[in-house]
Structure 1
Amino acid sequence: MKQITATGTTVEEAVQSALEQLQSSKDQVDVDVIDEGKKGFLGFGTKPAIVKVSIKKNPVQDAESFILEVAEQMGAPVQVKTEVNNRDISMELEGEKIAILIGKRGQTLNSLQYLAQLVVNRESDQFYTVMLDAEGYRGRRKETLENLARRLAEKAVRTGREVKLEPMPSYERKIIHTALQNHKKVETDSDGNDPRRHVVIRPS
């Protein structure tokens, strides 16, 4: 973390001095007042104000840097477009070798997303949710899962037996639950523990 200790005749002056050296603004830093200083009398007994100023960590930039670095090491460099909506961070990846970062059934993308979320929340005082997408993969995957849900619901009704799906991350399980929530002949439940937690479709 970039930080600097600065002095001045007042706390404000010391902070301003630190901001100029860090080339930053007050909303981007944390200020720790070490000594408020002392004005003294007629120049005697004067003590300078001392402050320690640190640049705040930007969790979004940390996540972007992490993704760029991992993608580079995997031989699939990308560009990242990020949107932040309150505590939801959406990151869209674009690149020529994007399939490498998606992986089989999105497993690599899911792992990257999980790690990016750890990076974002590592030193943050509030919890952020990260959604990683790669050239529209999530939308295509959602459609695939909805079709799968309907097909397996029909199977459960036809055979009269429950159907277990493969393990999925929570937001993919939610797609299955949502797709079948108004289905009158089946009910859905999640079973098992992460990372093996999966959806079960049962005839009503």
Structure 2
Amino acid sequence: MITIEKSGAKVEELIAEFRKEYGLKDWEFKYEIIKNPSSGLFGLLPRKNAMVRFYLPDIEERVASFLKELLIKMDISYKEIKIHKEGKSIYLEIISEEESGRLIGKNGKMLDAMQYLLNKVFEENSAIDHIYLDVDGYRQRQQAQFLRPFLSIFQKVRSEGKPYTLEPLNASERRIIHKYIEKQKDLSTLTIGEGTKKRMVIFPAHQSASEALIHSRQQRQQGQHNPKKSNLR
């Protein structure tokens, strides 16, 4: 939470200037009027400016506040909102239990729509690259299901000590695999290709990226089997 004090002729002008200076909406900050403006006694004393203390929450708090307001407008109750930040990515999880079906929607469409809205609202904020929203561990279960067919490939890379090139994946799918491999100290990943769908090379951590690239080219020339992916939302 950042605290900023400003003084000026009118309280309304100070609030408007603060909002414009930081590119904020009304619900993103709070303020306290420390002093109201005064014209001075009978015009004999100097005029006194107004003073306002502004409270600017961290970006995580502002994202969570917007989500809470959204849930209130949707008339959806919840127990807790968990939030954490990794780099420029913000992860939110709504703990609801009773309302999880409404929040997730058919095939996750409601959850996707809410996540899209969050990213749209904060898209001009340079402190954020992406906001990820989950409800009662739904996305975690989907991701675990998506990863299952790839686990045998990861084990094959370990046992044979050779890189393996996956078929083209979209950004969300690559992110899931990359985050999983990050936790495996003996494996590394490399992304190759252009466009929205790129390939990932899984290779032993002791090998260099250049070695993995050479082996990847050889594999693609020879052809290789890739697992059938589960649908991921």
Listed one character per residue, the Cα deviations across residues 51-71 of structure 1 (whole Å, up to 9, x for unaligned) are: 6788868442223334666xx
Give 2:169's aligned residue.
166
The alignment's C-alpha RMSD in Å is 5.1
CA contact (8 A) 1:83 1:90 kept: yes
Q: 1:190 to 1:78 in 2, by over 3 A?
A: farther
CA contact (8 A) 2:93 2:137 kept: no
How much does 1:109 deviate? 3.9
Number of residue equivalences: 169
Q: 1:119 to 1:139 in 2, by over 3 A?
A: same
Q: 1:118 to 1:173 in 2, by over 3 A?
A: farther
Identity %: 12
Map 1:42-121 to 2 at 5 A.
44=44, 46-47=46-47, 49-50=49-50, 58-66=62-70, 72=74, 79=78, 81-85=80-84, 88-92=90-94, 94=96, 95=99, 97-98=101-102, 100-101=104-105, 103=107, 109=111, 112-120=114-122
Q: Which runs of 5+ in 2 are unaligned?
A: 1-6, 12-28, 204-211, 216-233
* CA distance, structure 1, for counterparts of residue 103 and residue 152 of structure 2: 27
* CA distance, structure 1, for counterparts of residue 70 and residue 37 of structure 2: 39
Q: TM-score, normalised by structure 1?
A: 0.50
Q: Report whether the alignment pairs 1:148 with 2:139.
A: no
CA contact (8 A) 1:190 1:198 kept: yes
How much does 1:150 deviate? 1.6
Map 1:2-13 to 2 at 5 A.
none
Q: TM-score, normalised by structure 2?
A: 0.46
Listed one character per residue, the Cα deviations across residues 10-37 of structure 1 (whole Å, up to 9, x for unaligned) are: x79x87xxxxxxxxxxx82177x9x976
Give 1:136's aligned residue.
137
* CA distance, structure 2, for counterparts of residue 99 and residue 90 of structure 1: 13
Q: Which runs of 5+ in 1 are unaligned?
A: 1-10, 16-26
CA contact (8 A) 1:164 1:198 kept: yes
How much does 1:112 deviate? 3.7
